C-alpha cells in the first residue's frame, strides 16, 4: 500500500508547518496548502520536501478543484487538518463588513469547503481523520474579536455535528482549541497586551507549534478511533484562570 494522503490547510508556516512536518514524519504523503506567501511556501517546500499547493480555502470552488487534483495524484485523502486561519481584530463598533466576512469565510467556511471535498472519499474507504483548529478565544470570547470568536466557536459546533454524521464510517472529527501559540499571528499582538496574556497562563509561557502538532498526531492515530466530537483544549492552563 502506498502512503496515505493528508492535507494541511495553512500548512506552510506557524502551527500548520509543524503539523505538516510531523504528519510527514509519520509516513503520510502530506500536501501543505497556503494562500499568498509564495516565498515562505517555497522555502518550506525546499527544506521539508513536502509539496505545497496554493489556493484560497474561503472559496468553495477552489477547495473542490484542488482537493480533486490532490486525490487524483495521491489517492483518497485520509487526514484533513483544517488549520488555515486569519485575524482582523477590532472592536465590533469599528469592524467593517469585510473584516467580519473575511474572518468567517477563511476560518469557518473553509472547514465546510474542505471537509465537503474529502468526505465522500473517506466514507468510501471507511477511514478518515478530520481535525479542526479552533481557539481558546472561541471558547471564552475575546475583546476585539467578535469575528474570530464567532468563527472559532462555530468550528466547535461544526466538529460535533460532523462527528455524529460520520461516526459509523470509521471517520473521527475532532477539534483542538489552542491558547496563545508563538507564531506570526501572535507576534502581531501588541507587546503590552501579550505580556498581560502571558501573566494569565499558569505554565508561564506561550505555546509552541509543536505543542499543538503532537495533539494532532494523537487524534489522527489509527487507534484513536474512539475519540470523536472532542475538543482538546491546549493552553498552558489559561482557560482555568481567565
Ligand atoms: P499563521 O498566521 O502563522 O499561519 C497561517 C497559515 O494559514 C499560513 O500558512 C497562511 O498562508 C494560511 N492561510 C491564511 N489564509 C488562508 C486562506 N484564505 N487560504 C489558504 N491558506 C490560508 O497562523 P497560526 O499558525 O498562528 O495559526 C494556525 C491556526 O491556529 C489558525 O486557524 C489560528 O486561528 C489558530 N490558532 C492560533 C493561535 C495562536 O496563538 N497562534 C491560537 C489559537 C488558534 P500564507 O503563508 O500564504 O499567508
Contacts of 116 (CB under 8 A, 6+ apart): 60, 63, 64
Residue 36 alpha carbon to ligand 1 centre in Å: 12
Q: Which atom of ligand 1 is nearest to the CA of 32?
A: 9
Per-residue pLDDT of the chain (242 residues; tens, 9 = 90+): 679 999 999 999 999 999 999 999 999 999 999 999 999 999 999 999 999 999 999 999 999 999 999 999 999 999 999 999 999 999 999 999 999 999 999 999 999 999 999 999 999 999 999 999 999 999 999 999 999 999 999 999 999 999 999 999 999 999 999 999 999 888 888 899 889 989 999 999 999 999 999 999 999 999 999 999 999 999 999 988 87
Residue 35 Cβ contacting ligand 1 at under 6 Å: yes
Residue 171 Cβ contacting ligand 1 at under 6 Å: no
Residue 186 Cβ contacting ligand 1 at under 6 Å: yes
State the alpha helices, DSSP H only, in the chain.
Answer: 14-25, 38-48, 60-74, 97-104, 110-125, 136-140, 146-166, 184-187, 191-199, 209-220, 238-241
Residue 59 Cβ contacting ligand 1 at under 6 Å: no
Q: What confidence score (pLDDT) does residue 1 get?
A: 60
Q: Virtual CA dihedral for 196, 199, 200, 204, nearest 10 degrees?
A: 140
Q: Look at ligand 1, atom 20, and give the residue with the nearest C-alpha.
A: 35
Task: Report the Cα 113 to chain-centroid distance in Å.
Answer: 13
Residue 66 Cβ contacting ligand 1 at under 6 Å: no
Q: Catalytic site residue 143? A: no
Instruction: Assign residue 77 the CATH number of its domain.
Output: 3.40.50.720
Q: What confidence score (pLDDT) does residue 240 get?
A: 84
Q: What confidence score (pLDDT) does residue 76 get?
A: 98
Residue 138 Cβ contacting ligand 1 at under 6 Å: no
Residue 89 alpha carbon to ligand 1 centre in Å: 14
Output the nine-digit C-alpha cell for 202. 499558569
Output the nine-digit C-alpha cell for 34. 497556503
Write down the ipTM of this complex.
0.99
* Catalytic residue, candidates 34, 74, 148, 180: 148
Pocket-testing residue among 63, 67, 84, ligand 1, by greatest number of atoms within 8 A of Cβ:
84
What is d(CA 132, CA 231) in angstroms, rounded to the nearest whole number? 9
DSSP character at residue 242: -
105: containing domain: 5-241
Question: In total, how many domains does the chain have?
Answer: 1
Amino acid at each position: 500500500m502506498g502512503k496515505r494522503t493528508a492535507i494541511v490547510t495553512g500548512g506552510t508556516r506557524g502551527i500548520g508547518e509543524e503539523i505538516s512536518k510531523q504528519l510527514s514524519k509519520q509516513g503520510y504523503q502530506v500536501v501543505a496548502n497556503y494562500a499568498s506567501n509564495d516565498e515562505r511556501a517555497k522555502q518550506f517546500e525546499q527544506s521539508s520536501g513536502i509539496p505545497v499547493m496554493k489556493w484560497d480555502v474561503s472559496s468553495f470552488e477552489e477547495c473542490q478543484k484542488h482537493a480533486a487534483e490532490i486525490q487524483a495524484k495521491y489517492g483518497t485523502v485520509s487526514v484533513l487538518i483544517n488549520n488555515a486561519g486569519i485575524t482582523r481584530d477590532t472592536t465590533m463598533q469599528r469592524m467593517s463588513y469585510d473584516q467580519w466576512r473575511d474572518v468567517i469565510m477563511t476560518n469557518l467556511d473553509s472547514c465546510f469547503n474542505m471537509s465537503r471535498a474529502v468526505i465522500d472519499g473517506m466514507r468510501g474507504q471507511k477511514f478518515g481523520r478530520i481535525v479542526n483548529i479552533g481557539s481558546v478565544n472561541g471558547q471564552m470570547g475575546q475583546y476585539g474579536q467578535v469575528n474570530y470568536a464567532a468563527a472559532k466557536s462555530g468550528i466547535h459546533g461544526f466538529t460535533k455535528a460532523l462527528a455524529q454524521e460520520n461516526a459509523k464510517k470509521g471517520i473521527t472529527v475532532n477539534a483542538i482549541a489552542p491558547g496563545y501559540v508563538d507564531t506570526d499571528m501572535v507576534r502581531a499582538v501588541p507587546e503590552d497586551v501579550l505580556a498581560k496574556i502571558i501573566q494569565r497562563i499558569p505554565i508561564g509561557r506561550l505555546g509552541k507549534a509543536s505543542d499543538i502538532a503532537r495533539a494532532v498526531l494523537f487524534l489522527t492515530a489509527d487507534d484513536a478511533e474512539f475519540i470523536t466530537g472532542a475538543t482538546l483544549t491546549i493552553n498552558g492552563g489559561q482557560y482555568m484562570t481567565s
